[in-house]
Amino acid sequence: MEKGTLYLVATPIGNLEDITLRALNTLKEVDIILAEDTRKTLKLLNHFEISKKLISFYRHNEGVKIDYVLSLLNDGKNLAVVSDAGTPGISDPGEDLVRACIENNIKIVPIPGACAFIQGLIVSGFDTTRFVFEGFLPMNKRGRKEKLSTLQNEERTMIFYEAPHKLKYTLADMIEYFGGDRRIVLARELTKIHEEYLRMTLKEALEYYEENDIKGEFVVLVEGNSIDEKEKISDESIEDLMKKYIAEGLDKKDAMKRVAKDKGVSKSEVYKHLL
List binders of ligand SAM among 22-81 (CB under 6 A).
none
Give me the least distance between CB of 10 and ligand SAM, in Å please.
7
Counting other chains too, the contacts that 120-123 makes at CB distance below 8 Å and 24 or more residues apart are 120/159, 120/185, 120/187, 120/190, 120/219, 120/221, 121/157, 121/159, 121/219, 121/221, 123/185, 123/187, 123/197
Which of 97, 160, 152 has its CA nearest to residue 131? 160
Helices and strands of the chain, counted as H and E runs: 12, 10
List binders of ligand SAM among 121-140 (CB under 6 A).
none
List binders of ligand SAM among 179-198 (CB under 6 A).
187, 189-192
Give me the least distance between CB of 117 and ligand SAM, in Å please.
6
* DSSP-assigned beta bridge partners for residue 136: 161
The Cα-based distances of 206 to 20, 182, 210 in angstroms read: 37, 12, 6
| DSSP reduced 3-state for 172 | helix
Asked whether position 85 contacts ligand SAM by CB under 6 A, the answer is: yes
Instruction: Looking at 212-251, list the stretches that DSSP marks H as alpha helix, in order from N- to C-terminal side.
Output: 227-235, 238-247
Give me the least distance between CB of 221 and ligand SAM, in Å please.
11
Give me the least distance between CB of 219 and ligand SAM, in Å please.
5
Instruction: Give the nearer residue to ligand SAM in terms of CB position, either 145 or 192.
Output: 192
How many other CB atoms sit within 10 Å of the CB of residue 73? Answer: 22
Give me the least distance between CB of 82 and ligand SAM, in Å please.
10
Asked whether position 116 contacts ligand SAM by CB under 6 A, the answer is: yes
Position among 30, 35, 79, 90 found at the interface with ligand SAM (CB under 6 A) = 90
Beta strands per DSSP E along the chain: 5-9, 32-35, 53-56, 79-82, 107-111, 131-136, 157-162, 183-188, 196-201, 218-222
Asked whether position 83 contacts ligand SAM by CB under 6 A, the answer is: yes
Asked whether position 101 contacts ligand SAM by CB under 6 A, the answer is: no
Give me the least distance between CB of 114 and ligand SAM, in Å please.
7
Asked whether position 168 contacts ligand SAM by CB under 6 A, the answer is: no
Asked whether position 115 contacts ligand SAM by CB under 6 A, the answer is: yes
Asked whether position 96 contacts ligand SAM by CB under 6 A, the answer is: no
Stated as kind and residue range, the H or E segment containing 169 is helix 167-178
What is the DSSP pairing of strand 196-201 with strand 183-188? Answer: antiparallel
Give me the least distance between CB of 153 and ligand SAM, in Å please.
24
Position among 3, 81, 86, 257 found at the interface with ligand SAM (CB under 6 A) = 86
List binders of ligand SAM among 211-270 (CB under 6 A).
217-219
Q: Contact residues for ligand SAM (CB under 6 A)?
A: 13-14, 83, 85-87, 90-92, 115-117, 161-163, 187, 189-192, 217-219
